[in-house]
Amino acid sequence: MILAGENVPAVPYDVLAPFYDAVNGEPEDRIHHVLTSLARYAPSASSVLELGCGTGAVLAGLGSGLSLTGVDLSVEMLDIARRRCPTAHLLHADITSVDLGETVDAVICVYDTLNHVPTLEGWREVCRVASRHLSAGGLFILDLNTVGRFRELGDQDPWVYDFDGRTLIMSVDFSHPPVAMWDIRVFEPRDDDSYRRHHVVIPELAVEVAVVHELLSEYFEVIECRDPEGYPATDESSRALVCARRRAGTPGA
């Protein structure tokens, strides 16, 4: 194989944007989590803000009955989101500090976006941002990779996925917890029989479920924290699906 250069952007998801949806498919489970939570705990909700909206795949799946806003740090991902969600208000900003100057009925942060924030202080800031953008009683809906999930991924061999004439090779290194390092390479064929390698290394922070509850408690009442099978989430669950309600009078609101 001949490699003809490597694409290493300042924002890793900029280089993954052209391949992201083809690799991940439609996020039906995340969409179901959001819609089920809204129907159960906020059936009159009419507006949603997504922190870390990526290509807009989740927003696009929420239907046309909601006012949709998305925030992401990747310009390339947002460009795709604008095509997928032409009626949504999309903003290039950091989810730890964005201030829209308005409130919504629900804030969502899914696809383990919160794990991508590298410090606990950053997690606190995301909780504060969510609270600030919610009216009293509004919902904060999120999902997380657990400590056990990162341990499981770290024990697996690298996996290979062929798509659209390209090849993705991905692995997770969890040898230095609490940080998991995703190593992602995409090999893209060129016209001259060489390949361009797109390579990113993305850190995710593993946080215990008890600490997640503690971080949320400053602004929210946790309504549910479960695994994908519906049982209470633990550090050994495959994921933690969380729904929390903003308390009136909380700081930062």
Is residue 12 situated within a structural domain? no
Give the closest residue to 99 by CA, choosing from 107, 6, 216: 107
Question: Is the model's pLDDT at 7 over the cut of 80?
Answer: no
Residue 110 DSSP code:
-
Please tell me the total count of domains within the chain: 2
Whether 100 and 169 map to the same domain: the answer is: no
Q: Who has greater pLDDT, 7 or 178?
A: 178
Whether 113 and 54 map to the same domain: the answer is: yes
Residue 89's domain comprises 22-146+206-246
Is residue 58 situated within a structural domain? yes
pLDDT tens-digit readout, 144-181: 999 999 999 999 999 999 999 999 999 999 999 999 99
Whether 87 and 173 map to the same domain: the answer is: no
- Check residue 80 and give its pLDDT: 98
Classified as helix, coil or strand, 57 is: helix
Question: Is the model's pLDDT at 251 over the cut of 60?
Answer: no
Q: Name the phi and psi angles at 110, rounded to 5.
A: -120, -175
Rounded percentage of the chain residues whose pLDDT exceeds 70: 95
Is residue 74 situated within a structural domain? yes
Q: 160 has which bridge partners?
A: 169
Is residue 70 situated within a structural domain? yes
Q: What value does the mean pLDDT take over residues 239-245? A: 98
Whether 166 and 115 map to the same domain: the answer is: no
Whether 60 and 133 map to the same domain: the answer is: yes
Question: Is the model's pLDDT at 253 over the cut of 70?
Answer: no
Tell me the whole-structure pTM to 2 decimals: 0.93
- Check residue 193 and give its pLDDT: 81
- Check residue 252 and give its pLDDT: 53
Question: Is the model's pLDDT at 248 over the cut of 90?
Answer: no
Q: Report the C-alpha gap between 114 and 118 in whole angstroms.
A: 9
pLDDT tens-digit readout, 45-84: 999 999 999 999 999 999 889 999 999 999 999 999 999 9
109 touches 95 (CB < 8 A): yes
